[in-house]
């Protein structure tokens, strides 16, 4: 039975997550892949400890080795990984060509630096063109077509911008022999900030997550969540939320989290009485939140650190309250839905005992504690990740069932590289987009367009930015989406409206993430629906309702950035957290349709409005919101118990 569930989960991963569509039968080339993967991971561990190389060399080894592995593992045609029993000759050729044109930056590092002044040779230009094309194709294979289309359109815009009729978007245009070297050899293109951050920080954090998985911490998180919440009303759904939040701290993949946790939690939720759609939506919305859950957020958070020029601890602390509100909204929503359906908790006899669990496995939390402590102590994320990895290795030696053999160590080292492949390809292509934006001044033009379209009204500018983020997020990975929107949209909101930079960057970061659960393209919701055997679109709609905080809170911290710790005092912070949590209860009850009793439509509208007022950190709005929520509670308590009319199906 467990083997069948594992196969089903793997099929769902392959269907909705392009990064899992790799060849498994590659014959003798498996040794080459292992060698390259292990070497890449060891390289990052070595440079993480002894110091990184110059950014261009570090990035070249990082990207070049990843491209070689991608062409050996990922077929050109979708679905071909199931039928190909060996690697085609042309993919072998592409793999070694990709490695050569990228390592070329290392072999001729000094001459390339001189060429920035004297001009690039014809061979340099040819290599740059080949390199860019190979990056785009590798991204298509690992991430998908949409991001490649966006990058290709931006390149065409750079070339043919002069042919655009006189508009705000027109520009003189550039020749290919100028565009290609700029995107390949300069710091503002393929090897710009995104790939540099990936080479310094992101790879190590991804490897840290791989190490945690192999020490069985994922199962520990599930058991821990089960012991904490399983006995309460709707305990199975609350377990899913807490487990996904815990796993989200060490993983940044919405679909991967959904499948990993969902294969365990979704069947439990269905068995306890939740509909398949609600079960899939709960897991999808909770897993998507993993990318905003400190201490290890999505890869884009590390790029945000570089863009803003602040320590990662600042990003981590700023994300804490919004993340708590996000998961609280989902948690409270599952509570009200369980109350509505009269789904109670599980008996204690079926649950792990918290005290025994912590005594037996509590040591597994040590690596996470080490990482958080290192970051908060002011060390770099690179050092924090490295110390976390060392802590994981030490912890794994304590028990026989988690101890890593020599063979297992090599497997983990290779897996560390494999997990990073889609991220490396995505950030390289995001660098192309950012490079074109820098060359053409598209960012300033886009900013002017937002201002003109919004007529100078902040709320409209925020709305249009939100829509752009969600639309881009339907095709772009979160990291690439953030790079694009942080480059073209964030400056407009910061410069024209004088907003706090960290609040603006968090705003575009959030709305790039929620695309994973926003119909019609909501891959995490589709993955949850696949496990639950549910209607995908309905699952997506319910996931949006459960994750309503992700659509509300960003607007709140734009208007009052106290929620991201800007101009905050201890008393104001405590008050903001308390009132926001109460407000999330009002909002969640409104979208579910149950408070003290099943709610009429006017009551749901009032609850929603009262909840928003409580979330907004202002004294007057807090009092008004509290009065509304208390008033509705009193009204419903006076009403006769309508539990006999409560439906057993989700009607959200």
Single residue among 198, 231, 250 that ends a domain in this structure: 198
Single residue among 198, 215, 236 that ends a domain in this structure: 198
Report how many domains make up the chain. 2
Evaluated on CA atoms 504, 507, 509, 512, the torsion sign reads negative
- pTM, to two decimals: 0.84
Following DSSP, what letter does each residue of 206-250 receive, concatenated?
A: HHHHHHHHHTTHHHHHHHHHHHHHTTSTTHHHHHHHHHHHHHHTT
C-alpha 408/C-alpha 631 separation (Å) is 60
Report whether 312 contacts 381 (CB < 8 A). Answer: yes
User: Can you give the pLDDT at residue 249?
Assistant: 64
- How confident is the model over 620-652, as pLDDT tens digits? 999 999 999 999 999 998 886 554 343 333 333
| Residues 6 or more apart whose Cβ sits within 8 Å of residue 451 | 461, 492, 496
Q: How many CB atoms lie within 10 A of CB 640?
A: 7
Instruction: State the helix-helix crossing angle for 217-229 and 203-214, rounded to 10 degrees.
Output: 70
User: Can you give the pLDDT at residue 99?
Assistant: 97
What mean pLDDT comes out for the span 13-20? 60
User: Can you give the pLDDT at residue 83?
Assistant: 65
Report whether 535 contacts 277 (CB < 8 A). Answer: yes
User: Domain for residue 18, yes or no?
Assistant: yes
Task: Compute the mean pLDDT over every residue in the chain, rounded to the nearest whole number.
Answer: 85
User: Domain for residue 613, yes or no?
Assistant: yes
Following DSSP, what letter does each residue of 321-371 receive, concatenated?
A: HHHHHHHHHHHHHHHHHHHHHT-----GGGS--HHHHHHHHGGGGHHHHHH
Report whether 488 contacts 442 (CB < 8 A). Answer: yes
What mean pLDDT comes out for the span 214-225? 79
Which has more confidence, 103 or 617? Answer: 103
Q: Which two tokens stand for residue 347?
A: 């008996």
- How confident is the model over 486-503, as pLDDT tens digits? 888 888 888 888 899 999
Q: Which two tokens stand for residue 154?
A: 């931006």
147 pLDDT higher than 60? yes
62 pLDDT higher than 90? yes
Q: How far is CA 467 from its chain centroid?
A: 18
User: Can you give the pLDDT at residue 61?
Assistant: 96
Q: How far is CA 266 from its chain centroid?
A: 21
- How confident is the model over 439-483, as pLDDT tens digits? 888 777 777 777 788 888 899 999 988 888 888 877 677 788 888
What mean pLDDT comes out for the span 541-570? 88
User: Domain for residue 73, yes or no?
Assistant: yes
User: Domain for residue 48, yes or no?
Assistant: yes
- How confident is the model over 394-408, as pLDDT tens digits? 988 888 877 888 899
User: Domain for residue 270, yes or no?
Assistant: no
CA atoms within 13 A on the CB side of 177: 6
Single residue among 167, 198, 229 that ends a domain in this structure: 198
Domain range for 127:
9-198
Longest dimension (CA), the chain: 85
241 pLDDT higher than 70? yes
User: Domain for residue 438, yes or no?
Assistant: no
Instruction: State the helix-helix crossing angle for 478-488 and 406-440, rounded to 10 degrees.
Output: 30
What mean pLDDT comes out for the span 62-71? 96
User: Can you give the pLDDT at residue 603?
Assistant: 94
What mean pLDDT comes out for the span 135-144? 92
**Residue of 43, 44, 100, 91 whose CA lies nearest to 70:** 91
3 pLDDT higher than 60? no
- How confident is the model over 306-346, as pLDDT tens digits? 899 999 889 988 998 898 889 998 999 999 999 988 888 87
| Residues 6 or more apart whose Cβ sits within 8 Å of residue 307 | 193, 486, 505
User: Domain for residue 107, yes or no?
Assistant: yes
State residue 75 phi and psi, 5-degree precision. -75, 160
**Residue of 518, 507, 433, 527 whose CA lies nearest to 470:** 518
User: Domain for residue 28, yes or no?
Assistant: yes
């Amino acid at each position: 039975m467990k083997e069948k569930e594992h196969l089903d989960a793997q099929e769902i991963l392959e269907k909705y997550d392009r990064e899992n569509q790799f060849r498994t039968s590659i014959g003798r080339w498996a040794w080459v892949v292992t060698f390259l993967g292990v070497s890449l991971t060891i390289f990052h561990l070595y440079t993480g400890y002894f110091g990184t190389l110059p950014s261009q060399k570090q990035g070249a080894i990082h990207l070049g080795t990843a491209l070689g592995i991608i062409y050996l593992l990922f077929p050109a045609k979708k679905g071909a990984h199931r039928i190909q029993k060996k690697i085609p000759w042309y993919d072998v050729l592409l793999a070694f060509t990709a490695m050569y044109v990228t390592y070329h930056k290392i072999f001729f590092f000094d001459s390339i630096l001189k060429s920035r002044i004297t001009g690039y040779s014809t061979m340099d230009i040819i290599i740059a063109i080949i390199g860019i094309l190979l990056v785009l194709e590798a991204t298509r294979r690992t991430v998908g077509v949409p991001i490649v289309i966006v990058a290709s359109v931006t390149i065409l815009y750079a070339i043919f911008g002069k042919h655009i009729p006189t508009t705000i978007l027109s520009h003189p245009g550039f020749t290919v022999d100028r565009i290609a070297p700029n995107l390949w050899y300069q710091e503002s293109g393929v090897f710009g900030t995104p790939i540099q951050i990936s080479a310094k920080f992101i790879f190590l954090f991804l490897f840290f997550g791989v190490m945690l998985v192999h020490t069985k911490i994922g199962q520990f998180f599930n058991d821990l969540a089960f012991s904490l919440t399983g006995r309460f009303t709707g305990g199975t759904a609350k377990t899913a939320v807490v487990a996904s939040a815990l796993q989200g701290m060490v993983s940044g993949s919405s679909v991967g989290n959904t499948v990993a946790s969902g294969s365990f939690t979704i069947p439990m939720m269905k068995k306890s009485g939740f509909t398949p759609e609600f079960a899939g939506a709960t897991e999808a919305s909770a897993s998507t939140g993993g990318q905003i859950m400190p201490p290890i957020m999505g890869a884009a958070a590390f790029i945000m650190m570089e863009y803003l020029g602040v320590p990662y601890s600042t990003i981590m602390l700023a994300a804490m309250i919004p993340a708590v509100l996000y998961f609280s909204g989902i948690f409270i929503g599952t509570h009200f839905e369980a109350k509505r359906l009269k789904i109670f908790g599980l008996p204690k006899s079926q649950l792990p005992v918290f005290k025994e669990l912590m005594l037996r496995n509590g040591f597994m939390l040590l690596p996470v504690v080490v990482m958080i402590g290192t970051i908060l102590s002011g060390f770099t994320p690179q050092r924090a990740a490295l110390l976390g990895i060392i802590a994981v290795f030490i912890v794994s030696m304590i028990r026989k069932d988690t101890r890593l053999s020599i063979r297992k160590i090599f497997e983990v080292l290779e897996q560390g590289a494999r997990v990073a492949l889609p991220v490396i390809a995505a950030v390289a292509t995001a660098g192309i987009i950012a490079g074109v934006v820098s060359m053409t001044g598209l960012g300033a033009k886009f900013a002017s367009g937002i201002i003109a379209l919004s007529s100078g009204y902040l709320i409209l500018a925020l709305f249009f930015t939100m829509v752009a983020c969600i639309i881009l997020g339907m095709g772009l990975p979160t990291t690439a989406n953030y790079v694009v929107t942080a480059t073209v949209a964030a400056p407009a909101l910061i410069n024209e409206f004088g907003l706090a930079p960290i609040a603006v960057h968090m705003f575009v970061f959030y709305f790039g993430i929620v695309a994973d659960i926003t119909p019609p393209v909501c891959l995490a919701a589709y993955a949850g629906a696949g496990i639950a055997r549910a209607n995908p679109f309905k699952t997506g709609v319910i996931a949006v309702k459960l994750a309503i905080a992700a659509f509300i809170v960003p607007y709140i911290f734009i208007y009052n950035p106290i929620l991201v710790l800007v101009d905050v005092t201890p008393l104001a912070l405590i008050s903001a957290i308390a009132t926001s949590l109460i407000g999330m209860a009002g909002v969640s009850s409104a979208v579910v349709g149950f408070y003290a009793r099943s709610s009429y439509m006017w009551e749901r509208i009032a609850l929603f409005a009262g909840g928003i007022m409580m979330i907004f950190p202002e004294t007057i709005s807090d009092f008004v919101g509290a009065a509304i929520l208390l008033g509705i509670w009193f009204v419903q308590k006076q009403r006769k118990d309508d539990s006999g009319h409560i439906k057993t199906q989700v009607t959200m």
